[in-house]
Amino acid sequence: MRNLDENTITDAVLKRHEGASNVRLGAVMTSLVRHLHDFAREVQLTEEEWEAGIRFLTEVGHITDGNRQEFILLSDTLGLSMLVTAMANRKPVGCTEATVFGPFFVGGAPVHRNGDDIANGAGGEPCFVSGRIMGLEGEAVPNARIEVWQADSAGFYDVQYEGDTHRARAVLHSLPDGSYHFRSIVAEPYPIPHDGPVGKLLAALGRHPWRPAHLHFMITAPGYERLVTHVFRDGDRYLDSDAVFGVRSSLIADWIHHEEGVAPDGTRMQSPFSTLAFDFVLNRSS
């Protein structure tokens, strides 16, 4: 097809997709092209702006490596990650809500027993975390795999440091009654990495890069849907302006502060510490 113009080129591109052997791929790309072309026409995209966009995406790719996923950061800050998560995790009322996965999960975290100190030297006030893994009918979910990870008091995850030492990151399993408990550190607010192209974009848009304090959890158990979620710290100043739009009211909990004394596990603490109790309710898989 020749002599295409700004009004006819979209249909020409879409016609080329008619032979796609993967029906879903054809449908997704058809919609993507239609919306991209409509976007370009709506904003009257200039060649200079298009080139700037290409440079931006190239920079996002260049800074991405095994320890930093700038594309996930971009998706998160545009709200796309949370939109996809919400659509993919519609659950019955009473189930724990899902939220964004985030860019700092890594496989191969050390397996710990309940009661272990998973901080492994990560900086922060000691925190004793406990709760239960249950089904929607209140039944205990034993031996659920619980993967937990968090940033330290400086706002960094272990993978952002040199070396391969796991800190404040672990795998545990729920006990026969569905309970779990471990020691870590108090969650603190922190900025997402903003020294790269995504950070520059946020600054240009007048947006801050901060996330409210939270713990990440990923819980899997036979017969139940996987749950990827956070537990957010009540009272955090960024709960209503999370840079990645991940906060849900049902996921906000109290970190209770204690002066020095006896911790829940019987340890005599010589400094202040906190406790957090949070139960997770899983949805049965269909």
User: Which pLDDT band, with edges at 50, 70 and 90, does 88 fall under?
Assistant: very high
Task: For 113-146, write each residue's pLDDT tens digit.
Answer: 999 999 999 999 999 999 999 999 999 999 999 9
Q: C-alpha distances in angstroms, 231 versus 56, 81, 202?
A: 33, 18, 25
Q: Helix 70-77 vs helix 197-204: angle between axes, to the nearest 10 degrees?
A: 20
Q: Identify the residue whose tokens are 């979620």.
A: 229
CATH number of the domain located at residue range(s) 75-282 in this protein: 2.60.130.10
* Separation between Cα atoms, residue 204 and residue 262, nearest integer Å: 49
Using 50, 70 and 90 to split pLDDT, how confident is the model at 1? low
pLDDT surpassing 70 at residue 234: yes
Pairwise CA distance, residues 122 & 125, whole Å: 10
Where do the structural domains in the chain lie, given as residue ranges?
9-45, 75-282
**From CA 230, how far away is CA 242, in angstroms rounded?**
12
pTM of the model: 0.91
Q: Are 70 and 60 in contact (CB under 8 A)?
A: yes
Average pLDDT, the chain: 95
Strands 126-135 and 273-277: parallel
What distance separates the 2 farthest-apart alpha carbons in the chain? 80
Q: What is the pLDDT of residue 79?
A: 97
Angle at which helix 70-77 crosses helix 80-88, to 10 degrees, equals 80
Contact between 56 and 48 under an 8 Å Cβ cutoff? The reply is no
Is the pLDDT at 268 greater than 80? The verdict is yes
Per-residue pLDDT at 61 exceeds 70 = yes
Residue type, 97: E
What average pLDDT score do residues 17-36 get?
95
